[in-house]
Amino acid sequence: MVQGVCLAEGHAWDDKALSPDQRAAKLVDAMTLDEQIALLRPVDGASLASLGIQLPPSIPAWMRQPKPAGAIGSAGYVPAIPRLDFPALQESDAGLGVADIGYLRPGDAATALPSSLALAASFDTGLAREAGSVIGAEAHAKGFNVQLAGGADLIRDPRNGRNFEYASEDPLLTGDMVGEEIAGIQSKHIVSTIKHYVLNDQETGRTVLDARIDEAALRESDLLAFQVAIERGHPGAVMCSYNKVNGNYACESDFLLNRVLKGEWEFPGWVMSDWGAVHSLKQSVDAGLDQESPQGGDPDYFAGLKDAVTHGDIPREKVRDMAYRIVRALFAVGAMDDRPAPGGTIDKVADAAAAQRVAEAGAVLLKNDGQLLPLHESVKSIAIIGGHADIGVLSGGGSSQVTPYGGSFRDARGQTGIAAFLSPVYDLSSPLKALQALRPGTRIVFDDGSDPQRAAELARHVDVALVFAVKPQIESLDAPDLSLPYQQDALIDAVATVNHHTAVVLETGNPVAMPWLPKVKAVLEAWYPGQRGGEAIASLLDGKAAPAGRLPVTFPAGTAQLPRPAIPGFDPARQVPFEGAGRLSPFPVDYPEGSNVGYRWFEKNKFTPLFPFGYGLTYTHFAYSHLLVKGGQDLQVSFKLANTGRTAGVEVAQLYVAVPGRTHRLVGWAKVDLKPGESQTVTITADPRFLASYDATLHRWTRLAGVYDVYVGKAAGVSTLHGSATLAAQ
């Protein structure tokens, strides 16, 4: 082929011998200015009018419009360019599976994966890639080529209503797990985003708050999580967040977009805004924003892009680069050569099995006194109480909501219209039915938990009581506190008072307080466990599967231990989903914890949490010995790990290191599966970037020479093996 000349069978950019950069350049240069600008201005891909429900007057007119011609019907849509054989951009939310399907296209569904917290709790990067591949394959079969996935915001507040979409409070765990999930999605020739860049750490006032943090702390925490995930997963797009960061909106921050993301990190993809997160044209474009996602009721700033080019306010070459980044990302993941199309084959059985594996691997056993779990054969009667366990398992709400295969149930509790539509959703996977199937010889009875005394009377006459406690969370709303809703704390207390063999199964999107903890024998945190969550929970309770999860977030003993005991800007009167945030006046949110997020804040302040980051029990026991620490240019530890119990199990050995004068950081881990009596020598090499600190004066990362404190343990602050290493400066 001659450079710049069309191939006989097609276009010059069809030549697969060329790099994605070369192919994208040829295609973009064949576009007119109008065609390039069209790529930068998606429209909303669906319409709430299709829901067939009562919409309140506050819903803007644009959300009532018919679905655009050619759109599958989901988040964002850019029409195709037929003359260039360029496909439409079909975007869908994808935090926990291919979302925005069933309720916008009645009759359609997708695999509902467990929450990102559950996935991160597995500490299993291979499982993260598998979960991503499920999303990517189903998106491909449904005709989507862009997935709005990859939630990498660190969990700074355990009341954040969107934490179930995020991975953890730790930048290494978040970066590795989110990066692998993104890689899994893109392995199916689908572009994945990473979001929300950056510091989208609370939902209260998310469109108006100003997150204030010094540069070094930001570099060592949230930015580092994004950097690791981007390097590991190579997402095609970055979605900038609603909020301001140090005085500038994230989508018009030259520091975040141009200097760090596109400059220092050399990110080749495109920057898209969150929905309605754009506040300017020229300032946003100059700062590095490439694509304005649908603005909703806000001004459409990119509508003036062509005039700005004509008048010389924005260079023509800048528009070309913005379009080029989008096209290049499609070529890079193979979406131009293996184009998604609706009607593809989906292996629902295999994908459901993957969802169950994530749920089982991510469930965390928090307490198990007297080895109440797994349920012994001698247990002949069980009471299952509360949590709609007879129907299904809870899921998180908002744009990540997935309509699962098998259907769902809305706990509307008398609500109508949009309020009912936004009510908590349960995937139809009943723990009650699943446990009955596993234990046909056991008498298993159910009570809905609405009357604590009635439930307690039932629990009094069985061998074991299992209380299912739920806490719904939805995008746009933070939880007012750490307590369980619906008077469930009183329910658990009443049941545990009369039955001393009570276990609690938690289905939550955040840490919760447990005033009843001393009274119960066992606690299993199942998170939002997805469309096979009932089967997963039953398998864990009955011993068909063994708990292997570890907490990806600290469970505080109370809100007084948090950097911000009260949520900035929180107003109980505005607790209406997707309303109220825009009516708040701009306000600052300070980050006194800096880079000491989560467990590092607890260490710095000598707080004892309810349960620490990394914590989790198993059905067996492990012993650590023979620690060997090697320093110098790199840090490596080895030790002997032995299963001293009677059953097989999985241990997650964690390596923490303190830079001289600073708190300990997770720098590596090993997930080890051992049979009873089996032992293994384990080696963990520290990720070198987590041994360094950012010097904002020198504008670079540095590692001091000196003695670094080292420990290997079962959780943050749990020093099972302790040592030190002398490291050279870098």
DSSP states of 427-445 as a string? ES--HHHHHHHH-TTSEEE
Pure H helices in 14-93? 20-29, 33-39
Rounded average pLDDT over 468-495: 97
Question: Would you place residue 5 in the very low, low, confident or very high pLDDT band (cuts 50, 70, 90)?
Answer: very low
Report the distance separating Cα 149 and Cα 410, nearest Å.
24
Residue range 372-410, pLDDT digits in tens = 999 999 999 999 999 999 999 999 999 999 999 999 999
Give me the amino acid identity at 495: V
Report the distance separating Cα 152 and Cα 169, nearest Å.
10
Whether the CB-CB separation of 113 and 147 falls below 8 Å is answered with no
Give me the amino acid identity at 85: D
Helices (runs of H) and strands (runs of E) counted in the chain: 18, 29
Residue range 621-653, pLDDT digits in tens = 999 999 999 999 999 999 999 999 999 999 999
Residue range 673-713, pLDDT digits in tens = 999 999 999 999 999 999 999 999 999 999 999 999 999 99
Nearest 5°: CA angle at 584, between 583 and 590?
Answer: 155
Report the distance separating Cα 556 and Cα 485, nearest Å.
18
pTM beyond 0.75, yes or no: yes
Pairing of strands 587-590, 89-93: unpaired
Report the distance separating Cα 685 and Cα 242, nearest Å.
37
Give the Cβ contact number of residue 625 at 10 Å. Answer: 11
Higher-confidence residue of 7 and 641: namely: 641
CB proximity list for 663: less than 8 A, separation 6 or greater: 596, 600, 603, 604
Whether the CB-CB separation of 125 and 176 falls below 8 Å is answered with yes
Question: What is the per-residue pLDDT for 67?
Answer: 81
Place of tokens 């609370």: 202
Question: What is the per-residue pLDDT for 2?
Answer: 35
Report the distance separating Cα 556 and Cα 415, nearest Å.
33
**Count of all residues that appear for the chain in the document:** 730
Check 100, 157, 222, 274 and give the catalytic one. 274
How distant, in Å, are the alpha carbons of 141, 331, 332 from that of 337?
Answer: 15, 8, 10
Report the distance separating Cα 707 and Cα 727, nearest Å.
6
Whether the CB-CB separation of 494 and 453 falls below 8 Å is answered with yes
Nearest 5°: CA angle at 105, between 104 and 108?
Answer: 125
Helix (H) or strand (E) segment spanning residue 468:
strand 464-471
Report the distance separating Cα 247 and Cα 241, nearest Å.
14
Counting beta carbons within 10 angstroms of the beta carbon of residue 54, is it exposed (0 to 12), middle (13 to 18) or buried (19 or more)? exposed
Report the distance separating Cα 252 and Cα 287, nearest Å.
5
Question: Would you place residue 3 in the very low, low, confident or very high pLDDT band (cuts 50, 70, 90)?
Answer: very low
Residue range 194-227, pLDDT digits in tens = 999 999 999 999 999 999 999 999 999 999 999 9
Confirm whether 274 is a catalytic residue.
yes
Place of tokens 């295609």: 27
In the chain, what percentage of residues exceed pLDDT 70?
Answer: 94
Per the structure block, which two tokens stand in for 381? 């009667």
Q: Is the pLDDT of residue 421 over 90?
A: no
Q: Is the pLDDT of residue 363 over 60?
A: yes
Dihedral over Cα of 38, 43, 45, 46: its sign:
negative
Report the distance separating Cα 369 and Cα 252, nearest Å.
53
Q: Is the pLDDT of residue 130 over 80?
A: yes
Give me the amino acid identity at 244: K
Complete domains list, the chain, with CATH: 21-47+60-333 (3.20.20.300), 363-542 (3.40.50.1700), 620-727 (2.60.40.10)
Bridge partner list, 377: none
Rounded average pLDDT over 411-429: 85
CB proximity list for 240: less than 8 A, separation 6 or greater: 196, 197, 198, 250, 251, 253, 256, 257, 271, 272, 273, 274, 277, 289
Closest CA to 165 of 124, 122, 196: 196
Closest CA to 238 of 288, 195, 300, 186: 195
Dihedral over Cα of 723, 728, 729, 730: its sign:
negative
Question: Would you place residue 414 in the very low, low, confident or very high pLDDT band (cuts 50, 70, 90)?
Answer: confident
Question: What is the per-residue pLDDT for 105?
Answer: 67
